[in-house]
Chain A
Amino acid sequence: MSLEKFMNEAISPWMRHDGPDSDIVLSSRIRLARNFSSQPFPTVARGEPLEEVLSFMDEHFTDSSFREYEGLQLVKMDDLQPIEKRVLVEKHLVSPHLIEDRENAATIISENEQVSIMVNEEDHLRIQLYFPGFQLDKALEQASQLDDWLEEKIDYAFDEERGYLTACPTNVGTGMRASVMMHLPALALTKQINRMTPAINQLGLVVRGIYGEGSEAVGNLFQISNQITLGKSEEDIVEDLHSVVQQLIEQERKARQTLMNRSPVQLEDRIYRSYGTLRHSRVITSKEAAGCLSDLRLGIDLDFLKDIPRTILNELMVLTQPGFLQQYAGESLDPEDRDIKRATLIRERINLEDDN
């Protein structure tokens, strides 16, 4: 398979578009946890109840469309090879939890891959909607309408006092997790993000590194999301998140400006070294690649590097994950072979830009 064709399949169509503030906010997501009132949750249910949920979803929503989210398709996890499942996780279309031996697990994905409805994860349904850039309000509005559309057919588990009933007490109430993925290289480089995290936590929001182990943020990518789901309205939760993200954007821009003013040559050097590494290395770990890609993206945002599309960071962060690498190779690879394949893929990707 050619790299271009492979990339087209690998990158969700919505990811190719820029959104507001997309120099810093890569994507906005709303996730709603919902359950059928009549069936036990996947936490305890085995067999029949879960089968019923799955076949209900298949029957009512396969090949259906809601607005621009057309061509909904149900994909059963049991029908996929291990590498294909990993690929779905790496595209953030399903959670790692969904592919871990869950019974009757599936996901319903729209053609543009903005919508993904996980079936029989921890809850019967986990409705996810993605938007490029900083578009939390729009994501909430559309997710809520999608939710209404689903509710026309499904009897949700809902209680006047506790709200939407979920398997885990941490999700009850709105069942909503709103999150944004941010690229914060300057705040990370100046270690400001560590100082800001406690204050953000105080507001009931969580800052998490993406792709890294534990709290480490590989590629300077951070996810900011709400912790509390009960006692506040969806709009209030999103508003709180919105204002914190807005502040982080401003702080990141300031920090970038400061770096530019104080040590422009050092910054330029760092960016070009990373660019060189990506262009020429023959073996590269995912961690090193992520760091270099972050620098490369910063270089693009700061106009050091021209003619390279911004989305290269999102793209290559996904493409250089183990699942994708193995799919691209067409075989399973051990870690050392993956590091070689990763270097090759990145070189080819950057060369594509030279050809254009």
Chain B
Amino acid sequence: MQCQRCEKYPATVHLTQVINGEKNEVHLCDSCAKEQGYMNQEEEKFSLNDLLSGLFHMEGSGSAGKLFQGNKQQQKESLQCSGCGLTYQEFTKAGKFGCATCYETFNERLDPILKRVHSGNTTHHGKVPKRAGGDLNLRRDIEKHREKLHQLINQEEFEEAAKVRDEIRTLEEELNQDKGGDS
């Protein structure tokens, strides 16, 4: 696909803009994208050798395309973490977060980055800390029991299923007690 502005170079930046409810597709080459303000000068300074910076660069100019409400650059500049003051620009430049709150602040932009780094994964499936995890361990446990219950019912092992059902009840009571204790 050719750049729709200069019609000379291949389009490398693909954006879907939604302005006042109207959808508009934009396909530009690197230099036109820069002139039009879709990519700013800072981003240009990225070292291509730097794997991570490369990843972030891809996020803006990659072929995946992104849906943005309004002007991309404006939104990028206004995004700043309330926890540590890190801006989105600084984050992409260094490739590092500044605090736990950064994850919330930049949450909407993280999926493509995490996918590239972690082979398409964006959510945690590992250990849950005992205290910081709150009742997540308990909820995961209930989830596992429910899956087991389904299996047992499918296999028509009703006696076992009844046992698992009772276990789920106990766990759910425990969960409700935890919640009651918090308030």
Contact = CB atoms under 8 A, between A and B. Distances in A.
Interface of A: 35, 37, 39-41, 43-45, 122, 144, 147-148, 151-152, 155-170, 172-174, 176, 204, 228-234, 237
Contacts of A39: 99
A88 B72 CA distance: 47
Contacts of A160: 124, 133, 136
A53 to B, nearest CB: 12
B127 A169 contact: no
Interface residues of B, number: 34
Contacts of B85: 44
B151 interface: no
Interface in B69-88: 83-86
A35 to B, nearest CB: 7
> Considering the complex of A and B, which 4 residue pairs feature the smallest CB-CB distances, nearest first?
A231-B121, A163-B124, A44-B98, A157-B100
Contact of B123 (A45, A155, A156, A231): A231
Given A43-B97, A230-B124, A159 B118 contact: no
A163 B136 CA distance: 11
A332 B98 CA distance: 38
Given A40-B83, A174-B124, A155 B131 contact: yes
Contacts of B155: none
A169 B94 contact: no
Interface in B52-70: 52
A158 to B, nearest CB: 4
Given A40-B99, A44-B99, A162 B123 contact: yes
B96 A234 contact: no
Given A43-B97, A158-B133, A168-B95, A233 B113 contact: no
B153 interface: no
Contact of A165 (B52, B84, B100): B100
9 contacts: A41-B98, A156-B131, A159-B100, A165-B97, A167-B97, A168-B52, A168-B97, A169-B114, A172-B114
B121 A230 contact: yes
Contact of A168 (B96, B99, B123, B136): B96
A356 to B, nearest CB: 46
Contact of B86 (A37, A44, A158, A169): A44
B130 interface: yes
Q: Which of B94, B117, B130, B133 has the most CB of A within 10 A?
A: B117
A176 B118 CA distance: 13
Given A44-B84, A168-B95, A228-B118, 18 more contacts: A40-B83, A40-B99, A157-B100, A160-B136, A161-B122, A164-B124, A165-B103, A167-B97, A169-B52, A172-B103, A172-B124, A173-B124, A174-B127, A176-B126, A228-B121, A230-B117, A231-B118, A231-B120
